[in-house]
């Protein structure tokens, strides 16, 4: 039953992604719809969270393109324009953007506004300011990293971490998650989200550090200086081995802080806090054998097929079912 629900969710977001058309129009960016969906299964696999998985997959697919715009394609001036447009969340800002950013901004604008509309209709809560704040914070953190890389400036380790846990994109996913799974939204919880409660900060920091371990060599090849390991080595003069040990210890400390948040009084419902913890868990899974999001290898692809696509029961139609799914994905 669970796998059947997941397959229905996947079909829905595949149709959405094809209709949005960013994979065709922005060919420089990674098309990682399938990998994005796998992240959301790791965060919330239960059948009742179908709406959450679909919403998070849309957000993460857009974030992946956004990351490539800031990291690879956009000029610094264009990135400043895009950041300003997202901060303002105003369609008037679109006219000043280059064509490829107009398309991207409107895709994000429509997707986020749709979630805000659904939340208003179902719960009577106006949440668009909180969703857009999360996206604006993400863009500002991406812009800061782009400036560091453009200017060849290596920030201090603390400066990097304070920016990087936000640029991990986990906070956007968790803010979306809150509005997608919470049955009764509270003003206290929203205030905590806006002010970066620990249930956001610690899983996002874990996500960032796992990511930095796996992407270090690729980022160095691109000439980037914004990575936890490079910042720590630059500041302390430590070897890569000792730096790795320090980062590993830091990850352990973040896990302890996150666990402490789970047993402390909180305005959040348990289903949301579990999703926050599962973000850290799926991050370990995704970066255990390299970068399974940006450069999925055999292990990563086998995980996706075994969890979502390969029939669990041994039926005569198992082979045909798998072949049909592979054909569908190949044509998407």
CATH code, 106: 1.10.600.10
Structure tokens at 106: 């409107």
The half-sphere exposure of 20 on its side-chain side, counting CA atoms within 13 A, is 27
- Counting the structural domains of the chain, the total is 1
Return the H-helix or E-strand segment holding 298: helix 298-304
Distance (Å, rounded) from C-alpha 240 to C-alpha 182?
42
* Residue with tokens 């990682």, as numbered in its chain: 32
Burial code of 88-110, b = ≥16 C-beta within 10 A, e = fewer?
A: ebeeebeeebeebbbbbbebbbe
**Can you say how many angstroms the Cα of residue 193 is from the centroid of all Cα atoms in its chain?**
16
CB 291 within 8 A of CB 217: no
Tens of pLDDT along the chain (332 residues)? Answer: 789 999 999 999 999 999 999 999 999 999 999 999 999 999 999 999 999 999 999 999 999 999 999 999 999 999 999 999 999 999 999 999 999 999 999 999 999 999 999 999 999 999 999 999 999 999 999 999 999 999 999 999 999 999 999 999 999 999 999 999 999 999 999 999 999 999 999 999 999 999 999 888 777 777 677 899 999 999 999 999 999 999 999 999 999 999 999 999 999 999 999 999 999 999 999 998 888 887 777 887 888 888 888 887 655 555 565 566 566 655 55
Given this model, what pLDDT does residue 302 score? 84
Question: Inter-axis angle of helices 198-221 and 170-181, to 10 degrees?
Answer: 140
Given this model, what pLDDT does residue 56 score? 99
pTM of the model: 0.91
At a CB cut-off of 8 Å and minimum separation 6, what does 210 contact?
Answer: 251, 283, 284, 286, 287
Instruction: For residue 313, give its domain range.
Output: 2-331
Residue 269: C-alpha distances to residues 77, 177, 181, 203 (Å): 41, 12, 9, 17
């Amino acid at each position: 039953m669970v796998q059947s629900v997941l397959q229905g969710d996947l079909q829905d977001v595949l149709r959405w992604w094809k209709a949005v058309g960013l994979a065709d129009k922005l060919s420089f960016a990674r098309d990682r719809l399938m990998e994005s969906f796998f992240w959301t299964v790791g965060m919330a696999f239960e059948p009742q969270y179908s709406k959450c998985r679909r919403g998070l997959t849309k957000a993460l697919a857009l974030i992946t393109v956004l990351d490539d715009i800031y990291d690879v394609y956009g000029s610094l001036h264009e990135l400043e324009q895009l950041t300003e447009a997202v901060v303002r969340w105003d369609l008037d800002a679109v006219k000043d953007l280059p064509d490829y950013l107009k398309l991207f901004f409107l895709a994000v604008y429509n997707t986020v506004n749709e979630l805000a509309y659904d939340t208003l209709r179902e719960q009577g809560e106006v949440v668009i300011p909180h969703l857009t704040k999360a996206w604006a914070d993400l863009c500002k953190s991406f812009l800061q990293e782009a400036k560091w890389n453009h200017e060849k400036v290596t920030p201090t380790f603390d400066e990097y971490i304070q920016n990087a846990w936000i640029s991990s994109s986990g906070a956007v996913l968790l803010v979306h998650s809150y509005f997608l799974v919470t049955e009764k939204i509270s003003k206290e919880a929203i205030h905590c989200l806006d002010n970066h409660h620990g249930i956001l900060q610690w899983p996002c920091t874990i996500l960032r550090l796992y990511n930095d371990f796996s992407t270090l060599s690729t980022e160095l090849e691109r000439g980037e200086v914004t990575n936890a390991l490079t910042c720590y080595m630059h500041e302390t003069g430590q070897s890569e081995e000792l730096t790795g040990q320090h980062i590993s210890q830091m990850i352990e400390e973040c896990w302890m802080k996150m666990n402490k948040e789970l047993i402390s009084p909180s305005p959040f419902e348990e289903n949301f806090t579990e999703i926050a913890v599962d973000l850290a868990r799926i991050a370990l899974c995704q970066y255990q054998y390299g970068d399974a999001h940006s450069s999925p290898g055999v292990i990563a692809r086998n995980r996706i097929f075994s969890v979502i696509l390969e029939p669990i029961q041994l039926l005569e139609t198992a082979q045909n079912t798998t072949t049909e799914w592979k054909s569908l994905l190949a044509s998407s």
